């Protein structure tokens, strides 16, 4: 459930098909995200999952799987 929602957000934000985005997709290398993209992503994730993420999450994630794991830890969802 979390992965599907994250994938949908990333697909829209980075104009990629959902099929192109896997847990191993690297935010920087594969999606060419920069710090502004990550800030936008974080805002979208906070709205979608009703969470308040800390700023250090931006420096601690590099793959879609990292993002999913972070959300799962905060929410208890899987």
**CATH number of 41's domain:** 1.10.1200.10
So what's the pLDDT on residue 11? 97
So what's the pLDDT on residue 15? 95
So what's the pLDDT on residue 72? 94
pLDDT tens readout for residues 6-57: 999 999 999 999 999 999 999 999 999 998 998 899 999 999 999 988 778 8
So what's the pLDDT on residue 47? 95
C-alpha to C-alpha distance for 51 and 34, rounded to whole angstroms: 22
Mind telling me the catalytic residues? Answer: 34
Q: What is the extent of the structural domain holding 8?
A: 2-75
So what's the pLDDT on residue 35? 85
So what's the pLDDT on residue 59? 78
Number of domains, the chain = 1
C-alpha to C-alpha distance for 69 and 78, rounded to whole angstroms: 8
């Amino acid at each position: 459930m979390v992965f599907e929602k994250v994938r949908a957000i990333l697909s829209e934000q980075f104009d990629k098909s959902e099929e192109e985005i896997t847990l191993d997709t690297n935010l920087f290398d594969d999606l060419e995200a920069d710090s502004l993209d990550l800030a936008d992503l974080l805002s979208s994730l906070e709205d979608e999952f009703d969470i308040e993420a800390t700023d250090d999450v931006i420096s601690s994630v590099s793959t879609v799987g990292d993002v999913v794991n972070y959300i799962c830890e905060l929410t208890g969802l899987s």
